Chain A
Amino acid sequence: MNRLLQVEGLVKTFGTTQAVKGIGFNIKEGRCTALLGPNGAGKTTTIRMLTGLLKPTEGKIEFQGLRPGEDQRSLLGYLPQSPAFHNWMSGMEYAVYAGKLCGLSAGEAKSRAKELLGRVGLADAANRKIGGYSGGMKQRLGLAQALIHRPRLLVMDEPVSALDPIGRREVLGILKELKEETTVLFSTHVLHDAEELCDDVVIIQSGQVALQGSLSQIQSDHRRPVIELKLEDKESSMEWARSFVERHQTDDAWRMIIEDAHLEDRTLRLTVLDMEKARQALTEELAKQRVGFVRLEAGYSSLEDLFMKVVGA
């Protein structure tokens, strides 16, 4: 698969603090990539360097297929975390304005703007002033203006973080369609969105790449069978859980089947080595000890578990 964007050894220093410490990754044509990381990991800084709004202290950002003399920004569509428009313009005016700035002719900009505003569900509000738009509508207008010149790469910074559940559904729905047509890179700290939308993930932690690869590969590499047991709020059950956490490491029989156990509030999480055996042994143990539980669930670790492990939280 073609590489569209190649980032190497990207460093950004603000005064004495190093926000980004040598990040490198590739974005492949036609894939949707998520830049994951906790708040303050350097996601926004990295994205701003890609868009040219921030000059990297060191490192290389290379677009493939850029004709000599062509501005790399003409290949990019960018949607910042909370886009600010000119509130005195209407949505339609802004979209046309954005199109013309990208070098479209007036007629072309108008027809593209109309098409895109319809697509993001702003056809009815197109002639209203942006000042009266809701947060979700602004985000959708942001998408329309970013796509106006058919960019090869759509870059978004936390596209849905600031939205309410309804606005979030709307924008995610549009993104799902879009990723079929163009290459997408977006940053998020919401793992669920990443799992839902992307093909590749780059997890960054304190300015460095902690893990990267395709989502399916990462999931199959790091997926662990997990048993979750939610206990009743009774002292005897909790007592058992606490003793079990200590016991599973020393007891040989348990050590063979359980890799890790920890108790959080009333939930006991067991990362197991052999699901069959663990399920058997655990249910027997629960019956024998008369442990009261509310829920018992066997499944696989999610991206969130992996994320927590990687960022060391």
Chain B
Amino acid sequence: MNAGKLLTLVQKEWLELLRSFKLIWVPLVFVVLGIMQPVTSYYMPVILEKAGNMPEGTVIEIPLPSGAQVLADTLSQFGVMGLLILALSFMGTVSGERNSGATSLVLVKPISFGTYIAAKWISMMTLTWGALLLGYAASWYYTWLLIEQVAFGPFLLSYILFGLWFTFILTGTLLFSTLLRSAAGAAFSSLGLAVLLSLLAGLMPKYLSWSPGSITGSAYQAVQSLEGFDALASFGWSIGITVLLIGAGLIGSAAMLRRSPALD
């Protein structure tokens, strides 16, 4: 792998993200999602009163959720809407270029398949981690303004854990994008994987605590209290297995690309 060529490819990906405005609207969506959670939690009684069609004189008393609870809810929003948007914006990252024939010009240059995949992955991750940080930080700030301050440690740890979960699923999007011809197929396969893993981890927490699906749960726990967090013995396992699977996904993508660099 050659650093100069890798940088060239990454720069091209960044430029593409910028020119297609993904670099702007994806973080924007995350920020809006992030702000909405504390704001709606705070104003829920007012919203219900104004728009709920309640009979005159109804008294609404909803206890204000804790700041940590709001942040955990924000993460779960990101886990659905945010992941959907990211998977949709990256679904054609390899298959689109391959279908158009752009890869047959790039891959005859003396670059390795691994470098090409790595560049795609790095650019995807910069957008993912960046958008997640902006959105989550916005949520944290508004939670602080409206409800209460959440300590920085739990915030940071839950951010990193959630980023890892995103990285895992989006590596899947990249792998499916090299594997399948259809971009929509890649998006749905990786989102399906996310749903399946979360569901299984939720249904059988005892047996599947080592699976990547349990990372989201760890993230929710982390933001609520760092003290109770260490109790999860399988935490290390799920992290280790996720990192291993991400590596395997990248190697698999490069191998798939080597097998068919271009169509026909």
- Mark contacts of B1-21 with chain A using CB atoms, 8 A cut-off: 1 yes-contact digit, 0 otherwise: 010110011001001100110
B195 → A minimal CB distance (Å): 33
Quick one: closest A residue to B101, CB to CB?
A84
A189 contacts chain B at the CB level, 8 A cutoff: no
Q: B12, B19, B100: which contacts A97 (Cβ < 8 A)?
A: B12
Are B105 and A145 in contact (CB-based, < 8 A)? yes
Known contacts A53-B261, A53-B262, A88-B19; A101 and B104 CB within 8 A of each other: no
For B2, list chain A residues within 8 Å (CB). Answer: 103
- Mark contacts of B108-145 with chain A using CB atoms, 8 A cut-off: 1 yes-contact digit, 0 otherwise: 11110000000000000000000000000000000000
Known contacts A53-B108, A73-B110, A85-B102; A48 and B264 CB within 8 A of each other: yes
For A101, list chain B residues within 8 Å (CB). Answer: 5, 8-9, 106, 109-111
A83 contacts chain B at the CB level, 8 A cutoff: yes
Q: Which of A74-82, A190-198, A204-212, A253-261 contacts the other chain?
A: A74-82
> Which A104-153 residues have a C-beta within 8 angstroms of B?
142, 145
Are B110 and A103 in contact (CB-based, < 8 A)? yes
A80 → B minimal CB distance (Å): 5
A100 contacts chain B at the CB level, 8 A cutoff: yes
A171 contacts chain B at the CB level, 8 A cutoff: no
B107 contacts chain A at the CB level, 8 A cutoff: yes
Are A100 and B20 in contact (CB-based, < 8 A)? no
Known contacts A88-B20, A101-B9, A103-B4; A76 and B101 CB within 8 A of each other: no
Are B102 and A84 in contact (CB-based, < 8 A)? yes
Are B16 and A86 in contact (CB-based, < 8 A)? yes
Quick one: closest B residue to A98, CB to CB?
B109
Q: B19, B101, B109: which contacts A102 (Cβ < 8 A)?
A: B109
Bound complex: CA A41 to CA B128 (Å): 47
Total count of chain B residues near the partner, CB < 8 A: 24
A252 contacts chain B at the CB level, 8 A cutoff: no
Are A102 and B110 in contact (CB-based, < 8 A)? yes
Known contacts A82-B101, A84-B100, A85-B102; A71 and B262 CB within 8 A of each other: no
Are A100 and B101 in contact (CB-based, < 8 A)? no
Bound complex: CA A71 to CA B1 (Å): 12
B121 → A minimal CB distance (Å): 18
- Mark contacts of A221-254 with chain B using CB atoms, 8 A cut-off: 1 yes-contact digit, 0 otherwise: 0000000000000000000000000000000000
For B110, list chain A residues within 8 Å (CB). Answer: 71, 73-74, 101-103
Known contacts A53-B262, A80-B101, A83-B101; A100 and B5 CB within 8 A of each other: yes
Quick one: closest B residue to A45, CB to CB?
B264
- Mark contacts of A58-95 with chain B using CB atoms, 8 A cut-off: 1 yes-contact digit, 0 otherwise: 00000000000001011010101011111011000100
Q: Which 4 A-B pairs have the closest CB atoms?
A: A84-B101, A71-B110, A74-B110, A101-B109
Chain A to chain B contacts (Cβ below 8 Å), 24 pairs: A44-B264, A48-B104, A48-B264, A51-B108, A52-B261, A53-B261, A53-B262, A71-B110, A73-B108, A73-B109, A73-B110, A74-B110, A78-B105, A80-B101, A82-B101, A86-B102, A88-B19, A88-B20, A98-B105, A98-B109, A100-B4, A101-B8, A102-B110, A103-B4
